[in-house]
Structure 1
Amino acid sequence: MPQSYIKKILDARVYDVAIVTPVDEARLLSKRLNNNILLKREDLQPVFSFKLRGAYNKMMHLTEEERAKGVVAASAGNHAQGLALSALKLGVKATIVMPKTTPQIKVDAVRSRGGKVVLHGDTYDEASGYAKKLVEEKGMVYVHPYDDPEVIAGQGTVGMEILRQVTGPLDAVFVPVGGGGLAAGVAAYIKYVRPEVKVIAVEPEDAACLKVAMEKQRRVTLKEVGLFADGVAVAQIGKETFRVLRKTIDGVMTANTDEICAAIKDIFDDTRSIAEPAGALALAGLKKYIEENGCEGQTLLAIDSGANTNFDRLRYISERTEIGEQREAILSVTIPERPGSFKKFCAALGKRNITEFNYRFGSAREAQIFVGVSVASGGDGRSELVEALQALDYPVVDMTDNEMAKLHIRHMVGGHRPEAVISELLYRFEFPERPGALMNFLTKLGNRWNISLFHYRNHGAAYGRVLVGLQAAPEERKDIEVFLDKLAYPYHEESDNPAYQLFLS
């Protein structure tokens, strides 16, 4: 039962390496949302993440004989750094298997703390498989990143600190979820000590393994997992963590990429710190909870779980922030191709600010523009703008929620298909961000289909976003998909996407 974790959490050995992190009031956000918003600052830990707690507590429960064998783990970053520092503190050899796609900042951080890094595979699952192979071959002790009672207890000290620091009213605590170690530990403690406090788990919309498990009342492995919030990109909730969570949490929420980016900006505005996507996930859920429930005057706390993000990712994050706050609309609008049309269109927008405008001459009769417009915060501002333009007889397509439009089309407007390309099929990919990934694609493609369009943009993430046009007839679609399935890069066909039809086809 979850109650069995209370003594484990109270006895957890974490403070030899971890610190008691503060609970900060998000003053600007509190005023804006008419609630008292608090942030538990786990991004201030020595490894910039809560993961240090669970790793060290697990290490403290190993026997001398087990420590002498050395420890091994698979991790893309935060658990790796926590385990490396814990091993350094205790004089134990630590081997960390990391996917080849791991950002260099995290690889360097593990090495700087004395951990031996082995780069293997493209995904966490491949790295984990190799780590377990090392356990069999060399007798090392495997330290799981979340599905271990001692790791869960170590993470549970976050919940213990929250209740010691917030002694007054506390309506709900929002916890990010990947494998569930932090959420299980926090929920087990809070629901035992103060059962009236709601504990809400928050997952990325494209990696919601707990949400699916709660709905089906059993653990499910997701077929695909989004990688933007890489710290919580887990395909299946842990076995032990799910056993605890299904009895303790009050709900599961999801947040999309734009909402997470907006939460990163909110944390920066109030603390001048930059959370990683997984670190801001709980706040994104908190904001959504307020919007859906109309809360006012409540005390709500979000765990800022980490700050390990590549600097290069900030370009992408800032690009998506305004959309995440529902303060920007991305539209395709058809206007007459004649002098004065742009000026007339701007007048139709009233006092709204244009954030982006892309156009290239296409025909003598009509101009297709790709435009970003500032709108009032909240969903109504966007719909009011679209309705106002349609009332003035402007053909409008709302692309604010169109992933391909935001990732690629906005950077490629004007590149219509030339007459020489009679037929074209369009595909969107996620390429592993490593040398040779593109060459692998081109080599396997061979000379069968000509590439008629190619767009790639590096966002500092583990996977690159790629848009590819293949000069092929519709009847070749099945053959192409057989090739792509063998290639095993995640892909989506976008040939019928209106953004493609309007600006590139």
Structure 2
Amino acid sequence: MTLHIETPLIESRAMSFASGRSVWLKLDAMQPSGSFKLRGIGLACETYLARGARRFISSSGGNAGLAVAYAGRRLGVPVVVVVPETTSERAKALLELEKAEVIVQGSSWQEANAYTQSLIRESDAFLHPFDDPLLWQGHATLIDEVFHFGLKPDALVLSVGGGGLMSGVIEGLYRNGWQDIPVFAVETMGAASFHAALNAGHTVELDQITSVATSLGAKRVCEQAFDWSKKHSIQSVLVSDQSALTACERFLDDHRLLVEPACGASLAAIYEKIPELDEFNNILVVVCGGATTTIEQLRKLKLPALNSIGEKNNENPD
């Protein structure tokens, strides 16, 4: 028995009609922790517990931290989550609801993460948000479920932040013999570390994150994600913050499910009928989730102040 659940796979009639092709949704926003993160982090937590870990530590107040907190509660292991001062009260409340000890430290995720490293003891396990082979192995179960359902898409669309989801999804494609399915990796402008890596020919660190899609806010994509780009057909797609936010609202209307802007990025690729998808008739979209988002937050972000968000939103790069 796993900590994550098998999530629904449905055809979206609204998105299919809007895009002129069949659009299937893997609804990982319905995981108990609110995002796909539980697949990989759940496996990692179980593995580290079996290896003798007696406490889990995370430095994310976003989806990764929530997945660690959920896994720790279920496994009966204490959890410490260090978050920066910019973390929302809602995120902290959700962490505390899962019985995690929440420590507020620093003005950015980088500062919170540095403090986290100073807390780690020999019997602790540190859970990285995206750069761990155990995470990729766990995330690959998403494709296992699609395979067993009996649906083989022509193309797969997902959002990319640190690259953990994409690394796991492609691992899942290969272990199910679906290495011919191309992946469309969607990022928002201002959080496009994978796009920058493709342009440079190696991973690079962005100067800053200026997107409101804070869960995509990894300044450098993991090496595994970039390595996959040399072996697998991956096309980088960029959308605006406004497009991602609008897609979140449309998706709420269409499916009664609220997701964060990071997830809205991949949905925007469908709603806006990007030309890169014109030749494909059967598309799978990973609805990755986002537990800390509220409709009020989305509406505030859609105000003209978008361009003033800047580096202050770089607190939870999941």
Give the TM-score normalised by structure 1: 0.58
* Deviations, residues 385-415 of structure 1 (Å, cap 9, x unaligned): xxxxxxxxxxxxxxxxxxxxx339xxxxxxx
What is the DSSP-based 3-state SS (H/G/I as helix, E as strand, rest coil) of the residue aligned with 1:92?
A: coil
Output the CA distance in 2 between the equivalents of 1:256 and 1:75. 24
What is the DSSP-based 3-state SS (H/G/I as helix, E as strand, rest coil) of the residue aligned with 2:262?
A: helix
Q: How do residues 71-470 of structure 1 correspond to structure 2 at under 5 angstroms?
A: 71-135=56-120, 140-168=124-152, 170-192=153-175, 193-288=177-272, 290-293=273-276, 295=278, 298-308=281-291, 309-316=293-300, 319=302, 406-407=304-305, 430=310, 432=312
2:19 is the alignment partner of 1:17: no
> 1:154 offset after TM fit, Å?
0.9
Opposite residue 305 of structure 1, the aligned amino acid is C
Opposite residue 114 of structure 1, the aligned amino acid is K
Output the CA distance in 2 between the equivalents of 1:264 and 1:188. 28
Q: How many pairs align?
A: 313
* Deviations, residues 332-364 of structure 1 (Å, cap 9, x unaligned): xxxxxxxxxxxxxxxxxxxxxxxxxxxxxxxxx
User: Percent identity of the aligned residues?
Assistant: 25
What is the DSSP-based 3-state SS (H/G/I as helix, E as strand, rest coil) of the residue aligned with 2:263?
A: helix
Give the TM-score normalised by structure 2: 0.90
Contact 2:58/2:81 (8 A) holds in 1: yes
Contact 1:206/1:226 (8 A) holds in 2: yes
Partner residue of 2:42? 56
Show structure 2 runs of 5+ residues with no match: none
Which of 12, 23, 27 does residue 41 from structure 1 map onto? 27
> 1:106 offset after TM fit, Å?
1.2
With over 3 angstroms needed to count, the CA separation of the structure-2 counterparts of 1:295 and 1:121, relative to structure 1, is same
Name the Cα RMSD after superposition: 2.4
With over 3 angstroms needed to count, the CA separation of the structure-2 counterparts of 1:31 and 1:143, relative to structure 1, is same
Q: Which has the higher contact order (CA 8 A, sep 6+)?
A: 2
Contact 1:76/1:102 (8 A) holds in 2: yes
Output the CA distance in 1 between the equivalents of 2:51 and 2:281. 50
Partner residue of 1:339? none
With over 3 angstroms needed to count, the CA separation of the structure-2 counterparts of 1:428 and 1:96, relative to structure 1, is closer
Contact 1:146/1:179 (8 A) holds in 2: yes
Partner residue of 1:423? none
> 1:191 offset after TM fit, Å?
4.2
Show structure 1 runs of 5+ residues with no match: 1-14, 321-405, 409-426, 433-460, 464-505
> 1:65 offset after TM fit, Å?
5.9
Output the CA distance in 1 between the equivalents of 2:247 and 2:91. 22
Larger radius of gyration: 1
Contact 1:191/1:248 (8 A) holds in 2: no
Structure with a larger share of its residues in strand:
1
Output the CA distance in 1 between the equivalents of 2:59 and 2:228. 23
Output the CA distance in 2 between the equivalents of 1:26 and 1:65. 42
